Amino acid sequence: MGLFPNIIEEAKSKGIDLAMKYIPRDVFDKRAVERNQVVFHDVSFIEVKPHVKKNSLAIELTDFSVFYSQDAQDADVSLKKGKSKVIVDRGQVVKVSKDKDGVVSREVLTKKWTDWIDYWSVDFDFESKREIVRVPKDMSPNSQTQSQGTEGPQQNLTEWEEVWTGDFIFENEWQSFRTKKDRSLELKSAYHECTPGRRKVAVKVVDIFGNDTMKIIEVTIGGKR
């Protein structure tokens, strides 16, 4: 999830091109595997545009595309008469219906790319907070001491050390999301005051199925006012 953009950047720095794929639920369907119907779809695509005004930065979300499918295999055949079902077919949310005579109709529910987005947010300085974890540090045998008045060594005390994972923590500094009462979505963030210089900005999008995609861009903020 959050590792995706960092992996891409690290690979590029080493001259490696990666094609990232979603693992579909169909891999758990034995019949789909036997029929060679499992398709690994590309990771969702985010396009953004930075807007720099003196020492302030705003991010505009300009495109979001998904490519995966869900429950699309044999949907027309397995559906009972008089029933309907919502599926995802090659990046489109589709309502499949079958009337009492067995006639199948399809209605595309995602009319535009913004229909896919439930929530999006911006971290204006992505590399400002390293991800640090505490791991146990083994004590050397020399650190074991003999306790006075006892026959055996004292119980080993675990030492801990802080280690950087190589990743950074996404900090939500601005967001726009839909609610049940308000389905509108802001596509441009508010301006955020930044220190001059080059920085990495992270944009995270959560789609209507809860899938998380992140994109990292580099932006240069102008000099002193």
Give the pTM: 0.70
Supply the pLDDT for residue 157. Answer: 65
Across the chain, the runs of DSSP E, i.e. the strands, are: 45-53, 56-65, 83-89, 92-98, 104-108, 117-123, 130-137, 159-168, 174-177, 192-193, 197-207, 212-221
CATH code linked to domain 3-66+111-143+154-221? 2.60.40.10
Supply the pLDDT for residue 149. Answer: 47
Distance (Å, whole) CA 26 – CA 88 = 13
Distance (Å, whole) CA 147 – CA 75 = 72
Supply the pLDDT for residue 150. Answer: 47
Q: Report in angstroms the alpha-carbon separations of 177 from 106, 169, 185, 188.
A: 28, 21, 6, 12
* 16 within 8 A of 9, measured Cβ to Cβ: no
Supply the pLDDT for residue 46. Answer: 92
Distance (Å, whole) CA 173 – CA 155 = 46
Phi–psi pair at 37, nearest 5 degrees: -100, 0
Domain ranges of the chain: 3-66+111-143+154-221
Supply the pLDDT for residue 140. Answer: 42
* pLDDT per residue as tens, the chain (225 positions): 445 566 766 777 788 877 777 676 777 788 777 877 676 766 788 999 999 998 999 999 999 988 777 766 677 777 889 999 888 887 888 999 999 998 999 999 888 999 999 999 999 999 999 989 888 886 444 444 444 444 555 555 678 889 988 888 999 999 999 988 888 999 999 999 999 999 999 999 999 888 888 899 999 997 554
